[in-house]
Every structure is written in structure tokens, then in C-alpha cells.
Structure 1
Amino acid sequence: MNFNSRRSTVYSTRGIVSSTQPLANEAGLKVLRAGGNCVDACVAVAAVLCLTEPMSTGIGGCAFGLFYDNTANKVFGINAAGKSAAALSLDWLKENHPDHIKATLRLKDDSVFAIQVPGIIAGWCDAVDRWGSGKVSLAEILAPAIDLAENGYVISQQTALLWKGQEAKLKRVNKISADLAVFLPNQGFSAPVEGQFLQNAQFAETLRKVAQQGKAGFYKGDVARDIVAELQSRGHVMTLEDLASHESQFVEPICVSVLGHKLWEIPPNGSGIIALLALGYINQLDADGVIDLQSLKHNSTEYLHVIIECLKLAFRDSDDHVHDYRHYKESTGIDLEPDLKKLLHSSYFSKRTKHFSKSKVLDNNQIPREVPDPSMRSDTVYLTVSDSDGNAFSFINSLYHHFGSGIVVPKHGFILQNRGDNFNLNPASKNCLAGGKRAYHTIIPGMITKQVDDKELLYASYGIMGGFNQPQAHVQVYLNMLLFGMKPQEALDAPRLCLVPHPDFHHTDNGLGSDGPVSTQVSLVNIEDGVAPEVVAGLRSLGHEVRILSNQQRSLFGRGQIIRREPDPHHLVYSGGSDPRGDGASVPFY
């Protein structure tokens, strides 16, 4: 099946670098040429993206990664999300800042208390220490980003459009100053335009401290002091100890097997389990004979209805199951992590899919909460690199909303995330705001393997950015490749759907989980231009609320990257695709 695209699938026998920015890709290639591996190169790419796409990611944000080790034939994971300030609590917020609490039990827009400890820098350092080649230093890895920040780079098309849309936010949350001018450099403190030359000497100096001192260059010393001083001046309770005590988590990835392959995701507090559950439900419907998966036509009414309804079930499950499990264990003594395996099992899938109907739409508020054990109830950039040793790193870095909190750290050229906006303020929820806790995270890297003779062989490293769109896109792109036989570029080109909370039903928010697509009684189904009109009419006839998006509105569907290992028995061959909704590309290493 062919779709119009301005890009072709890229092939290489040594490795591929794939991201949303050509400048970032070149940084990754430089590190590979210097002897680095896919992990080293990914960190170099991420550092450049923090400079060139500051609305999407930055060193004030967080990261997740999946590493495929070709020697061990195994997938490993890192959770580089930061925690909330230790002194922050719901009771403290109610007493001191009740104006920051919405009636829907969410933090108000632009709340400073949505800022958590930035985890990216620790994640970069820890990933390189554990999985890097050892042949290149951290200074060499960060050198391309430092050079571009000092000597300048040029703004690309999609970046300029996204940047322009955030002028008002940056002015609203910051004082007019030289620090703000780093991000709004034009007359009247306005955003840079396509083709404009930019420099960020402050960012270069901050990265140089990390290059020289490692994690301490960010989490201790003047960078940490200036982060804390800025936050405390706004009433936050973040301390130097909150920063100094931050650690990444190395985690065991979770997976489901569908269509003879396994999809791997980071466990909660990441939301990758939504993609696993949705695929599990689709697979179960097929196994039970409710649908015939192999006969479904791509982006047909029946196919999209199945995708939508299974995603809604999975997002409802996330209300109970996407939270900080370690914090829950520390505060209650109950370890819920073993029960994740019960969720990803056919017996659970079978219970949940009984709520599916081929002829009508699920009411989100009527989807029952079902858990395997009663004790359980209570903007972003993606990049991936493969190397000549057969390894791959699937890596995602984020500030959450565009420009995160919007709050500029004086003298250091970066902005702080607002990931804590995904906490709720409902004490009945395990994702409720608390001190020293990681919030529900939307960023999810993906990895696909195929089991052969007890070995997990790499099939693809992939991901699609874009908030709550991410697990939805993971499911669609997975099926594009493995059900419909699409090449990586075709799989990204194909029109997608994305569920969001219906704006007319915000008053029905139940205050559980995150404020994702099923937080309201009705989900709005966004369909990308290119899906047949009769399909859209069919979805509406079933009861779906549908909106068609085109042109720049298509940014809702995210920007993805795929690197796939081809089944050549004699040679290492990779193929790569890069989302046409962004500025980037897949670039071969040679």
C-alpha cells in the first residue's frame, strides 16, 4: 500500500541515525565515526535537539530509553524521570496555594508546582556509563551541541512554526530580560523565524560544565543553585538536596507478543503499558473470533473502530496502573510491580474485551475499573540510532508541554519542564501529587523483537512523540509494519488517528489518572486528512465524535522515527524512516 511522501526508506549496513533535525543527525554520525556506539550517538543527538528544538525538549526535562544489546540479545531500560520536591504535598498545596487547584482536581495551567527535578542530564550520563562504547568521552559526545550553541545554527521550518506559537506563554511566565531574549531574540521579544541564525552561549557553558564534571556539573554547583533560586522565588519548595539526590532508574522493560513479535516498553510510571494493553486487547479479540484481524483493511471503519475502542480501554486502565510504583512501595510497604504481569496476560485481556462492541461506542465514564488484585485499586523529541555491532538505542527526551513550564533558568540558557502537570490532586488515585514522587509520564520509547531459538532478535527500534498520542501511534505503526507489511517510511507516512479529551466535556473529568483521552466522558477522535470520507462517515454512524485535521494541525499526530533490521541472513542491513510531519530524516552511517 502506497502513501504520498516526500521521503524514501533509507538503508545502511553499518548503522542509522534518525531524528527530527538534520543537525542532530550529523552530531550522531560524528560520534559513530569517532568509534562511539548507538548510545553515545543518541546522547549527542539529544543534546543538539535540546538546543535546536527547545520547545520540545531541553536539559530541564526528562528522558526514557530502551537499549537493545546484540551480544546479550536482550532489551534493557532506563527511566530518567525526575521526582517532585520532597517537601511538596497535596495538604501543603491546599493550605498554601489553593488557587493552584482546579475543580477537576488538576493543577492549574502554568502552575510552578508542575516542575519536577530535571532527569535528562543524569539519564545521559548514566546511559553512557552503563551501555556506551567506552571509546568516546562525555566531552566528545557533547562537543557538537556545544559547538552549535557557541558558533550558531539556523532555525528550520517546523521548529519556527512551533516556536512562534509559544511567544505568549514565554512572555506570560517570565520577566522581560536578557535571559528571555535567548528564546525570543527578535524585536519586541518575538520568536525566531525560519532561516534565522541563532546562538545560545549560556546553553554552551552549561553543557561544558556537564562535559567537564559529569552529573555534578548540573545537579550541584551554580546550575543547581540557580534552578532552586528561580523556583523558590516563585513559591516552589524545591531544594538543593532534591537535585543532589536525584538518580536514574535502570528498569526491566515490559512486553506483549502480537503477530509473532514482541513490543517492549518502559514500565510505569511510563505509559508504554497503554500500547501493550491496546495491542493485547486487539490480539484477544482476534483470538476469540470477535474480529478477523488478518481480513481488516488498513484505516477502514471497522479497523479504526477496533483501534479506538481498545485504546479507550487501555487508557482507562492507565488510571489505576500508571504511577510511581517505587514511591507507592516506600509509602505503603506494598509492592505492585509483580502484578503488572497479571495485566499483560490473556486472562486479563479476555475480561476487558468483553466490554467491546462492534456496533457501538464505549462511554468512557461507564468503562468499569478492573484490576487483577484489589490492592491495586486505590511536547517531546524521539530519536533512535543503530550501530555496526547490531545494537540499537530507542531514546525519548521531553519538556512535556511546548517549552514545558516556560520558566527560563537565568544565566544558563534552558527552560524547566512541567511534567508534574500529569499528577492529579485526587487522594483516591495512586497518581496523586506527593513529595519525592515521579508523575505519570507520556514519553515512551519502543523496541520490537522477534524470538528465535530462545533469543530476542532486533526487529525495530521506534517511537512517535506527542503527549498522549504516543501509545496510540505505537499501536498503529506496529500494526502498519507487522499486519500490513509496510516499510518503515510507509508505516510513518500512513494517516493516523489520535484520541484526546473532548473539549465540550471537561466538566466530566473524574480526576483520576492523567488528563488523557478518557478523562472526559467522551473522547474526541482526531483523524488525519487522507482517511477516506466514507470511513469517517462510518465512524460517526457508530457514535464516534470525529474531527479531521490537515496541514499544520497534523502536528497532533506526532513525529516518529523507525530503524528496522532487515532479515538478510548474511549481512547486517538496517532500513530507516523519518516522519514527514517533521523536519528530520533517517541518515545512514557509512
Structure 2
Amino acid sequence: MRPLLLALLLSLPVAAAGADRIAGKPFATRSEVYAPHAMAATSHPLATQIALDVMKQGGSAVDAAIAANAALGLMEPTGNGIGGDLFAIVWDPKTRKLYGYNGSGRSPKSLTLAEFRKRGLKEVPPHGPLPVTVPGAVDAWFALHGRFGKRAMADDLAPAIRYAREGHPVHETIAYYWNLSVPRLSQWPGFAEQFTVAGAGPGDRRAPRTGEIWKNPNLARTLEKIAQGGRDAFYKGEIARAIDAYFRANGGFLSYEDLASHRGEWVEPVSTNYRGYDVWELPPNGQGIAALQMLNLLEGYDLKSYGFGSPEHVHLFAEAKKLAFADRAASYADPDFYKTPVARLISKEYARQRRKLISPDKAMKAAEPGVIPQLNEGDTIYLATADADGMMVSLIQSNYRGMGSGMAPPGLGFILQDRGEQFVLKEGHPNSFAPGKRPFHTIIPAFVTKDGKPWLSFGVMGGAMQPQGHVQILLNLIDFGMNLQEAGDAPRIQHDGSTEPAGQNEAMADGGELDLESGFPYETVRALMRKGHSVRFADGPYGGYQAIMVNPHGGYIGASESRKDGQAAGY
């Protein structure tokens, strides 16, 4: 190279990462998706196409969400299935209101805190029969369908039944997590027989690999029974009796009576206003209000002037998370057992008081709850759909830890969740284990309205990452001016180590760990260390995002998580 040309090139300013992209969106892995009539965003392309087909055939956004969720239970058993729970928020264009559904199940009535103590357990184990709670997903399907469905439930379940019987190729990320689950879950009866394939040697079983065709005829038969017999086919029929017999035979406690008495419930979403946008979450036993608490705290800072990825942005986010999660650990629980002071926790006045605890220069090592309870006594999928009539659905569903408990009743084709792991084995705590109680729940759908009109249906799956992810998406959209796809693709923050409302409920004393995804400037990392943050490298715990936004020019805008196998598509 000529010396003059080399000198000229070296004198040019260094461009920001991705600045050479035509769209000028350095974080976006691909463009947003635009469509005039309907949109679906799920973590699996085939599920997205099923949702679109349902809406093309006259189904509502709720029909599409149910059909996609049923398919995901087959196609992504690493994150969800009919053995798990479901929460949803629906925008109804007829009444111009949001409706929330809490489809979480309760602990077995025959299992007590004394039983855990007798076994010498300080925490609910993550696998096997003890963490299993009643699966609420099927009940939630029928509740949502009864109010907002337009097609027969049999039609909504038909695509999943066909794929279960005929097979589909396993996608890359799902194959990765499936392979991780097989060694730790194959000890439980029914799992290896129904969720592995023959390996190289005699008796060797393994997870299906990327691209291999996976069939689940047992699940096809189970879904057919539900399609024909309705909700009660699952909770009061042959399926419930098979589950009861399986747990009796394998040292479990979940019974026919637990299933038969299950009920989900319609709940009123709660909200806070963040810079002119009304952000809606569901109240406890879920953790959604933690996102509202964080937004209230962060509203007091000019994040836009600090800029995305600045030390101030990351530091303030982490400190707000610590304060919100201190309340989460102390006060979020089943409202039938403890009345979480929701109005107080999500109030602006409370945020003003708590904000005084945040130092601009120093990371807090411990965070105490601001409201002390006054007692009277892993994985997941997220999807969004939107139809031509203006109905929008925000739905999240999970078996909890990866493929759940590992307990898979023979012949049924699904795994029961291990959501009971989220209880505390401490007497007197709001989230303490009790018979017939709903545990603290991590899965949370979200919705945003502006001036009383729908603006955004979105979610970020992934345990304690979920409220953190909700907040980051909104900061990216509202404060940092990113588009819908870029807001999800931008590098994420996860703070880990806060006091948890589960396990032994031990208080954070060391400030926890701050995980930063690749893409944050090294100058930011060094500045955070100077403030006392423990910054570490973590590979992959940053959640999974799907979103649908109302296009102000008509129709919808969709975005899907680049860290997953999913797709946003419309017509």
C-alpha cells in the first residue's frame, strides 16, 4: 500500500461497530418485519407459520396463540408444554381493554412443609416428584378461547397434532438445550422412553440432533383427547387418572383431586407510566411488577443523555434491579395466602424514596426490602400474535427449569413442570411452601399502551432475566431510540445474585455479579469495576425476546429474538 494512502486511512476516525450497515442500525441482526393484516412472533418458525395460517383462516389472535403454543410444546419441549403453566395479556379491540389471565397451578394438597423437613431438605429439589405443581396451561387455553376464540378448539390444536404424528425437524438451539437435559432427567420414569432416540450402542439413548425428524405420537393422542373432550379431558378424565397413577407409583404427591380442583383466574393487569407510555404487567404471584418498580426508579435519570452502554446506563440499571428484587424476594407470593402491597410498590412516591438509596458512584453490596411483609398467619417460551381486527396477545408458557421435572407419565407425551422449586422452605415467609398454594412465578407477559391505545405486545423469557429484559427493551425503545428489532438485538445486561424469593432466601451481601453480553465498551466495564461492580463473562443467560408493535401507518411491526430459533412474520 502506498505510504500516503496508508497515512490517510490511519487518520480516519474509527467507526462504531456496525456503522457500515446500510440501515444505520448497528445492533440489528436483521430488519423489522412489516405486515398490513396480522403478525405472529414466536421462538420457532413453524409455530409462527401455524399462527399465521390460523388467522388467515378466520381465527383470532387468541386462536393463533393457542395453536402456536400447542405446537411449541411439541417442537420446543426444552421450554414449555402442557405440563406447565401459562400467563397471558390480551388487548380486546371491542371493549378497548386489557385482560389478564393467571394460569398457574397449585402445590399438591397432600404435600406439606413437614414432609420436606422429614427428608432433611432446605430447598425444594429441582427435579423428580417433589417440585411438581398442577399444570395450568390447558385450563388457560380454554379460558382464553372461551372469551376470545373464533374457531373450534379442535381446529386450533390440529396443526400440532399433525406435526406430532408426522414429525418435524429439530432446530439448532432447541437441540442444544435438549442434549443438556437428557443426562440429568433420564433417571425419571417415562422421560427417556418418550424424549430420547436410540443412540449408537445397545441401550444408549440420546437427544435428537439438529435437523433430525422428531415425532411424538403420545402427545398427538393426548392433544386429540383434549380437542375432543375439552378442558375436563385433561383435568378430570383419562389424562388426569394416568397422571395420578404415575405419581402414586413413583413416590409423588400430585393427585387426581389436585387436577380436578384446579382453576386459573382472570386478573386485572397493573401499570406504571414511563415517559408517557403505560407499561402493563400482571400482579403476583408473578414477578411482573419488578419491571414496573425498576422503571419508576430509572425514570428519575436522564438515560438518553448518558447513552446506551455508558457506565451510567449500566450502573443505574443494576442498582434499580437490586432494589426492586429486594422487594421481590420479600413480598411477591400467591395472593390467596399473602396480599402483596402492589399499589405501594409500584407507586411513584415509593420510587422517589427508594431512589435515594442509589449512589451514582458506588455499587450497593446489600439491598433491603422497602416494604416488610405483615403476615396474617428456565426455561420458557414467549409468543405474541396480532390479528386483522386489532386483537393482540402477549403469552408466556413454561415447564420452568428446562424440560421441567423430568416426570413424564407413560403414554402422554409431555413432562410435568417443576415450578414448586420456587417455594421457600421457611415458615412465615409469604412464599413459604403450603399445600394447595401457587408458588412465586417467574414467567411474565408484558404490554404497553400509549394514550389509551395498544402500542406494543412483548416479552423476554428467562427466569430472573425477565423483568430485567422487559426494562431493557423499553429503555432501548423509549430512551435510546432503537427500532423494534434493534431493541432486542442490542447487547444485554443481567444482574445475578439478588436475594431470591425461593430456595433458602439468603440475603445478598456481596453486591452480586453483573453479566454483560458482548458489545459493551471496555471503558464501560472498567468504569463499572471502579464503582465496585463485580463484572463477569456469562455465555447465554440473556433471555429470549418476541414483540409486535402497532404500525402508526397501519398494520403491525414484528421482531424476533436473534439468540433463539424463532421468526416474526405476517401477512
Distance in 1 separating the partners of 2:135 and 2:523: 46
Query: Would the alpha carbon gap of residues 120 and 516 (structure 1) be closer, same or farther in structure 2, given more than 3 Å must change?
Result: farther
Counterpart among 559, 562, 570 of residue 544 in structure 2? 559
| Most deviating of 306-315 and 236-245 | 236-245
- What's the offset of the Cα at 1:494? 0.3
**Hey, what does 1:88 align to over in structure 2?**
111
Are 1:327 and 2:337 counterparts? yes
Counterpart among 342, 348, 356 of residue 354 in structure 1? 356
Are 1:25 and 2:25 counterparts? no
Counterpart among 22, 30, 36 of residue 7 in structure 1? 30
Counterpart among 190, 198, 201 of residue 186 in structure 1? 198
Query: Would the alpha carbon gap of residues 575 and 516 (structure 1) be closer, same or farther in structure 2, given more than 3 Å must change?
Result: farther
| Most deviating of 6-15 and 107-116 | 107-116
**Hey, what does 1:333 align to over in structure 2?**
none
Distance in 2 separating the partners of 1:582 and 1:529: 16
If you compute each CA radius of gyration, which structure gives the higher value, 1 or 2? Answer: 2
Identical pairs, percent: 36
Residue-pair matches, total: 543
Counterpart among 340, 343, 348 of residue 342 in structure 2? 340
**Hey, what does 2:19 align to over in structure 1?**
none
Distance in 2 separating the partners of 1:202 and 1:219: 17
Query: Would the alpha carbon gap of residues 520 and 193 (structure 1) be closer, same or farther in structure 2, given more than 3 Å must change?
Result: farther
SS at match of 2:374: helix
Query: Would the alpha carbon gap of residues 250 and 512 (structure 1) be closer, same or farther in structure 2, given more than 3 Å must change?
Result: closer
Distance in 2 separating the partners of 1:377 and 1:356: 32
Query: Would the alpha carbon gap of residues 537 and 377 (structure 1) be closer, same or farther in structure 2, given more than 3 Å must change?
Result: farther
Structure 2: segments with no counterpart, 5+ residues:
1-23
Check conservation: 1:445, 1:463, Cα contact below 8 A: yes
Counterpart among 296, 312, 316 of residue 306 in structure 1? 316
Distance in 2 separating the partners of 1:294 and 1:9: 23
**Hey, what does 2:560 align to over in structure 1?**
578
TM superposition score normalised by structure 1: 0.89
SS at match of 1:577: strand
Check conservation: 1:426, 1:512, Cα contact below 8 A: no
- What's the offset of the Cα at 1:427? 1.1
Distance in 1 separating the partners of 2:63 and 2:267: 19
Check conservation: 2:125, 2:131, Cα contact below 8 A: no
**What is the correspondence of 1:61-80 to structure 2 with a 5 Å cutoff?**
61-80=84-103
Distance in 1 separating the partners of 2:337 and 2:132: 18
**Hey, what does 1:235 align to over in structure 2?**
251
Distance in 2 separating the partners of 1:146 and 1:269: 32
Distance in 1 separating the partners of 2:343 and 2:323: 17
**Hey, what does 1:424 align to over in structure 2?**
424
SS at match of 1:11: strand
Letter in 2 for 1:576: G
Check conservation: 2:243, 2:255, Cα contact below 8 A: no
Check conservation: 1:501, 1:518, Cα contact below 8 A: no
Query: Would the alpha carbon gap of residues 519 and 577 (structure 1) be closer, same or farther in structure 2, given more than 3 Å must change?
Result: same
**Hey, what does 1:130 align to over in structure 2?**
147
Letter in 2 for 1:299: G
**Hey, what does 1:199 align to over in structure 2?**
215
Distance in 2 separating the partners of 1:515 and 1:482: 37
Check conservation: 1:10, 1:576, Cα contact below 8 A: yes
- What's the offset of the Cα at 1:5? 4.1
Letter in 1 for 2:310: S
Structure 1: segments with no counterpart, 5+ residues:
329-335, 503-508
Distance in 1 separating the partners of 2:331 and 2:530: 32
Check conservation: 2:405, 2:418, Cα contact below 8 A: yes
Distance in 1 separating the partners of 2:465 and 2:369: 22
Distance in 2 separating the partners of 1:519 and 1:241: 39
**Hey, what does 2:532 align to over in structure 1?**
543
SS at match of 2:569: strand
Query: Would the alpha carbon gap of residues 498 and 47 (structure 1) be closer, same or farther in structure 2, given more than 3 Å must change?
Result: same
- What's the offset of the Cα at 1:518? 6.5
Check conservation: 1:265, 1:446, Cα contact below 8 A: yes
TM superposition score normalised by structure 2: 0.92
**What is the correspondence of 1:474-493 to structure 2 with a 5 Å cutoff?**
474-493=470-489
Are 1:47 and 2:70 counterparts? yes
- What's the offset of the Cα at 1:181? 3.1
**Hey, what does 2:232 align to over in structure 1?**
216
Distance in 2 separating the partners of 1:519 and 1:313: 11
Are 1:117 and 2:140 counterparts? no
| Most deviating of 314-323 and 268-277 | 314-323
| Most deviating of 540-549 and 466-475 | 540-549
SS at match of 2:266: strand
Check conservation: 1:501, 1:517, Cα contact below 8 A: no
Letter in 2 for 1:562: A
**Residue deviations 1:450-479 (CA, integer Å, cap 9, x gap):** 12xxxx201100001111110000000011
**Hey, what does 1:171 align to over in structure 2?**
186
Check conservation: 1:315, 1:516, Cα contact below 8 A: no
Letter in 1 for 2:31: S
- What's the offset of the Cα at 1:357? 0.7
Distance in 2 separating the partners of 1:500 and 1:564: 30
Distance in 2 separating the partners of 1:375 and 1:415: 37
Runs of 4 or more, structure 1, over 3 Å off, are: 511-522
**Hey, what does 1:107 align to over in structure 2?**
124
Check conservation: 1:312, 1:517, Cα contact below 8 A: no
Distance in 1 separating the partners of 2:528 and 2:507: 18
SS at match of 2:444: coil
